[in-house]
Amino acid sequence: QVQFVESGGGLVQPGGSLRLSCIISGRMFNIYTMGWYRQAPGTQRELVASITSTGSTTYADSVKGRFTIARDNAKNTGYLQMNSLKPEDTAIYYCKLIGSGIAWGRGTQVTVSS
């Protein structure tokens, strides 16, 4: 069964950094664009960054210049480096192979607070 396992979240002060990881089991990783999404309480899930199988990236305006998405196709792993974190970045973060139809994982909680 293919699934996503996100990790690396936690509590961090404003201005701090975190690095999220996402391991995706199965053989589909190299085919799809990978995205990192987040969902704060009372809001819809939003796409914050994506990276194609060949490494082209896109970012939401709210995270541009602060977040960096990366992937290691050999390890079936994706990453989201988050710097200069703000309280409004607080959310559960999820990874996804866009268009794959694979169910969402449990995500990892990121809390930015002093």
What is the pLDDT at residue 25? 79
Closest by CA to 21, choosing from 74, 84, 70, is 70
Q: Which residues contact 25 (CB under 8 A, 6 or more apart)?
A: 1, 2, 3, 5, 76
**What tens digit of pLDDT does each residue of 49-84 get?**
999 999 999 999 999 999 999 999 889 999 999 999
3-state SS, one letter per residue, for 22-57: EEECCCCCCCCCEEEEEECCCCCCEEEEEECCCCCE
**What tens digit of pLDDT does each residue of 21-41 get?**
999 877 777 889 999 999 999
